[in-house]
Amino acid sequence: MKRSTEIILYLIMGGLTTLVNVACFFFLVYFSVDYRIATTIAWIVSVIFAYLTNKRYVFKSETRTKKALIKEVFSFFWFRLLSYFIDLGSMILMVSYMSTNETLAKIIANVIVVVANYVFSKWFIFNQNNRISNQNS
């Protein structure tokens, strides 16, 4: 698969992941779930969605063994948690220490996170060592 196609698919799946996150959050809040719990559940659901869509449609990863699958899942969740802290750290740095507008800071932080998640997924999670290559796709 061409890199440009992969990036476009990654961005589309990221948009859908965001939609899943927001929809899940609003659904839970609508039924009076505390916003902190709703945020956590929405994050978990959206990360599961992101894993499945990135694995199947973006990186076309076919894990060979149960051990490789467990490593892939753990890596995905670990790096997504890491990107959460990159997002939070970027926001704190820009808003609290650099006096950046919150909206602008969030946009910049999201660009950093999207790039970081793509790199994490491409090179560390769905890499050639963990999957059967589908070069003819």
- pLDDT, one tens digit per residue, over 26-69 is 999 999 999 989 888 998 999 999 999 999 999 999 888 999 99
CA distance 47 to 135: 26
CA distance 137 to 118: 20
In this predicted structure, what is the pLDDT of residue 135?
A: 42
What mean pLDDT is reported for the chain? 88
Angle (deg, nearest 10), helices 102-119 and 66-91: 160
Structure tokens at 29: 């809040």
In this predicted structure, what is the pLDDT of residue 103?
A: 86
In this predicted structure, what is the pLDDT of residue 134?
A: 41
In this predicted structure, what is the pLDDT of residue 39?
A: 87
**Average pLDDT of the segment spanning 117-131:** 79
In this predicted structure, what is the pLDDT of residue 107?
A: 86
CA distance 121 to 33: 32
CA distance 132 to 115: 24
In this predicted structure, what is the pLDDT of residue 133?
A: 42
**Average pLDDT of the segment spanning 89-113:** 90
7-16 core/surface letters (b: 16 or more CB in 10 A; e: else)? eebbeebbee
Percent of the chain topping pLDDT 90: 55
In this predicted structure, what is the pLDDT of residue 87?
A: 86
Percent of the chain topping pLDDT 70: 92
In this predicted structure, what is the pLDDT of residue 136?
A: 41
The string of DSSP letters for 89-133 reads HHHIIIIIIT---HHHHHHHHHHHHHHHHHHIIIIIIS-TTTS--
